[in-house]
A and B are shown apart, each in its own frame.
Chain A
Amino acid sequence: MGGGAVTRQGTHPRHGLDPLIHTPVRLSIMAALAAADRVEFRFLRDTIEVSDSLLSKHMLTLEEAGYVKVEKVFISKKPGTWLSLTPEGRTAFQEYVSILETITKGSPHA
């Protein structure tokens, strides 16, 4: 798993933000997948308003990190790609959101 969520004592909480998630596109992907069991590729593309190629590129990064599971299925010869978070991805995203909330609430570390 390539989370890279480094938390150092005595530093700003932003240092704990997972760099794999903390980019605009991957953040949107993770947020979308965290809100469902499974999401279809085209729906995700339209929801976060990116191109097929850009979404595929970021999905590959998240898949290699072990955060996302990609399933290709054929129903009546029609291909479909379903995306979901792995348990590791779900945990990483929850931690990420929790750090964001700590920062916005202005904790003693913020």
Chain B
Amino acid sequence: MKRTASLLMLVPLLGATQTLSAALGITLMLGAVLGVFAVCMSPLRERLTGTRALLASLILAATLTSCANIMAQRWLLSWQQTSELYIGLIALHCVVLEYHGAFREPVAVSFKRCALFGALMLVVGGLREIIGYGSLGRGLSEHWQGLVLFPEGLHLFTLVPGAFVLLGLLLAVRQAWTRRNSVIKETHRP
């Protein structure tokens, strides 16, 4: 059950994090839409049950995602055009998380999970930009070209397979770290 939701979260993590600014954009948008969705869904959940609750979450998710998409078009058009697919998918995230009851957990737990996921998005985005383009923070502001670290980067890491490789490496680092620090083998959580 939980695995479907985690796998679905992999999509923006791998697909929409070419640069730090892209990762920041999609993280903020995910956070905003999921937050408003959770707030709006809580009164509805008491009134509706079963299929009707799911239908309500579907309508709400579609509305919020379309509104967020229109606002992104209005103020961040160039970013919106590269991440359009992943913005549309946010609606699916909302519905799947709602279906698996992720919003019914205590606020502190889900907030911590969101913060961890956001931090992971930013780390992957930042590392992909450094390795793939040799710069950091490009496109964050119009007047700043970003921090140039290397003149050229590894093209692979600007593509989705590169993100997958990077995520694998990060998981390996984490595994090695936790093994060294504790004797207890930790079950690995994707």
A binds B: no
